[in-house]
Amino acid sequence: MKEIVLDTETTGLSVKDGHRIVEIGCIELENLIPTKKVFHCYLNPERKVSESALKVHGYTDEFLSDKKKFIDIADEFLKFIDGKKIVIHNAEFDIGHLNNELSLIKKGKISSANVIDTLEIARNKYPGSGNSLDALCKRFRVDNSRREKHTALIDCELLSKVYINLIDQK
């Protein structure tokens, strides 16, 4: 079974406020083992990065200004995730942003039926506990020392290890 561990970074929290994706990272798993197939890109969001988002990921407007736009990578991205379950921590956030980007270019949305939300799994398994990615890394002794800022690919690598622990397949 193939799954995609996915993470995004954005210009801010809410698509309702016009926030956009600045980075997409995906790692393919086959039977819970990374296959070495990766999809990664930085994107020009065609708007300013909020101060709060800049503190989270560190991607400046200047850094993003010469990157491709979502429309330029959409088909390649959709082909990469096609037919696979998508594993996301706090799926509502990432899928909301991805579906917003897809709707802006008149493409079909990603169905939540194809999504496994590790935050939801963690909340059900450990009610009342901290269930952020950092908290879960600590719980499962996953080394997250490389994570100085949130970056999509590092977060995907961490989440792939957390996911295996969450579903008791370590």
Burial level of 144, CB count in 10 A (0-12/13-18/19+)?
middle
Count Cβ atoms below 10 Å from residue 118 Cβ, excluding itself.
23
Tokens representing 40 are 């990664």
Catalytic residue among 57, 89, 97, 150: 150
Specify the 3-state DSSP secondary structure of 38: strand
Mark 145-166 as b/e (b = at least 16 C-beta within 10 Å).
eeeeebbbbbbbbbbbbbbbbb
Sign of CA dihedral 36, 156, 125, 90: negative
Strand order in the sheet with 115-117: 33-42, 21-30, 2-10, 85-88, 115-117
Q: Can 150 be counted among the known catalytic residues? A: yes
Catalytic sites, residue numbers:
150
